[in-house]
Amino acid sequence: MRTVTFKVGDILSGEVTDLSHIGEGVLHIDGFPIFVAQALVGEHIQFEIDHIGQHRAFGHVIRWLSKSPDRVEIADTIYEETGTMPLQHLAYHAQLEFKQHQVQKLFKTVAQMPHIEVKPTIGMEDPYAYRNKAQIPIRMVDGQLTSGFYRRKSHDLLPMENFIIQEPEIDRAIIVVRDILRAYQVPAYDEYSHSGVVRHLIVRRGHYTQQLMLVLVTNGQVLPHAAEIVSEIIKQLPEVVSIIQNINEEKTNVILGRQSMVLYGQDYYNDQLCGHTFNISHQSFYQVNTIQTEKLYKKAIEFAQLTAQDIVVDAYCGIGTMTLAFAEKAKHVYGVEIVRDAIENAKENATMNQIKNVTFTAKDAGQWMVQQKNKGLRPNVIVVDPPRKGLDRKFIDAALHVSPDRIVYVSCNPATLARDVKIITDSNLYEVKEIQPVDMFPQTHHVETVVLMSRVDK
């Protein structure tokens, strides 16, 4: 361990030389890295040391001695306090460059591909008001039911009405429901005493259909004045097509419980994606940025280079959003997903869109791939869109065994993406052809990436 020449509470100064993977400024004192939020590359800052760990320290800015030309005026400090827009102080063109650089860096260090080209990040014309889903904690503040967001690294609720990155109609719906709950004096949940009723409000909106779904997460079966509350909501928000009560009686940070009931409408709303219509239930995964999702999927389809004779496997397919897009160009697409409800949703969506050349299976993708390998399935293209943890090794081994012409990897975590790409290419069967980041979450450090790997002998 390096000798640290400073202590907590020391006030130091230095130049920021890099950004961490979450957008914190990085500088060094006597070779020891220090991470400082809100600082940008090239800035000279005075900062205070807050914490010293074994390999890095953390601090906060006291004042700027010089500022980056990429620094922009922030909308409000509350977005720093809650962490909802951690990159709001960085000009948008620089956010896109930052995300490209992060992917490039991980392919250099983790995938060990220092010379691989990462294309410029595909961004948005307007990098605000893009989220089609909100999960809002509800708590009592000064004796009144209040909506907002937690202060970073705490469960202290900060009242908020304008989230900026959510579609404005979602922000409005939150306020309407909050005020109705206040009018009927419904108590908010208290996590310390495990008392009260409403824990969270979830609002989902169809970007193209404008349909709204509301989910009231309650601490118990009873929602006082439920009929009156529902009546008032649909009177003030006629776009609402679904109101769900989800019951979560556990002492947990997990938002949704296992039991739900429909209070109004049905347990789904509709939206369109790449020309297809989808039923989306309250439990279904659906990308939160519709505009950028269409760009991401179009890039994945382009990378797949499909012909009318191709067999495609879409692993981790969810409710079939990408599966149906591929099915328009391929002979047949197999969609596999471990969440059974999502597969039922996917089957309904295929029927609703009159797409017949798809087969959906509810199974662990790794197990399914091994079984299909043993049955002799030989897909031309495998498409994967796994969770943040990336691919199971058994899935990778099975995919390598069936040896498709192309593997298209869609990822929400560039670190596990780089790890998995290295495993696949170390087989000497595949090589990386293209890497394309897509900005699904402007004003944050998150980035989606799609990678094309082609078989070496093709």
Rounded Cα gap, residues 237 and 245, in angstroms: 17
317 catalytic residue (yes or no): no
Tokens at residue 352, please? 């609703």
**Residues 60, 47: contact at Cβ < 8 Å?**
yes
Helix axes 365-375, 393-402, angle to 10 degrees: 30
**Residues 211, 241: contact at Cβ < 8 Å?**
yes
**Residues 306, 381: contact at Cβ < 8 Å?**
yes
**Residues 436, 425: contact at Cβ < 8 Å?**
no
CA dihedral sign of residues 19, 20, 24, 26: negative
Rounded Cα gap, residues 275 and 277, in angstroms: 7
Beta-carbon contacts of residue 238 (< 8 Å; ≥ 6 apart): none
Give how far Cα 229 sits from Cα of 173, 184, 263, Å.
13, 8, 10
Rounded Cα gap, residues 24 and 445, in angstroms: 10
User: 3-class SS at 3?
Assistant: coil
Detail the DSSP E strand segments found in 68-197: 133-141, 144-150, 157-159
Helix axes 168-183, 226-236, angle to 10 degrees: 140
**Residues 451, 146: contact at Cβ < 8 Å?**
no
- Of the residues 412, 417, 432, 447, only one is catalytic, namely 412
Tokens at residue 9, please? 């509470």
Tokens at residue 363, please? 């199974």
Q: Which positions are catalytic? A: 412
